[in-house]
Structure 1
């Protein structure tokens, strides 16, 4: 029984992010369109902190090789970014800036991880640089959507980020 549990947890840790990353961005886009309640997004933030902490605690010692060192840093910083989003639900006067930190943080921080991975994995440079570029383009497009006031451009920005990050995590799941 214990061996089976360990195997399930190992599979979740290795494959889970390949599903969680695109699913998270889909929920963000849906929330941006008003299709998901604030309460659901609050719960999603709590679940994200739990999942990221699980991945960090169970995989910390294994994240010492080339690319995984960078992703360990991304996840540690990501916990803080996600906690800022949680705080936004609890501290009303500063909700909007805290949510912005969470959203933009999750667009930019993984982009840095993608570029780093592209630098340390020459055999996968193209996919990670492409993923990082799309992930960085997302917040730039999002900022432009705020300037022009066009919500569909914001959705496109979220989609661009999602595609970039999904390219990277998809490769990571297949590669490792």
Structure 2
């Protein structure tokens, strides 16, 4: 059963590739421009205050066509400042396990909402605007001579399967 499920997941990820804005078989020059100029980028999951959620599995397809599978993830982080609605400026720290080399094309993850006692499966596809934000350097707010990149993806999980994504710089 696990082999069939894994095969189905792989087929679904390949279908996502075909629907992506820049397919894997695109010109090498176009693909090369989507490779990260930094070692890795990070992603973390968080949930609103007193509404716990737990991520159990993640699959991530990057712009270089590499499929990552995460079974051991960094813990889902509570956001004590998020009560009635999501904050615009969230900081969750650096991940130890949740990282990849190049920007994401697609992400698939399974998570449990403890409050509504349901398991959710979420698919997110990323396109050129996100890749451009992740690959374009900008001057550091602390030192204009230093170039930084937006390489921290924060994914908020709320009851009823609601998901929100932020791209952060620190």
TM-score range relative to shorter protein: under 0.3
TM-score w.r.t. length of structure 1: 0.27
TM-score w.r.t. length of structure 2: 0.28
| Higher normalized strand content (fraction of residues) | 2
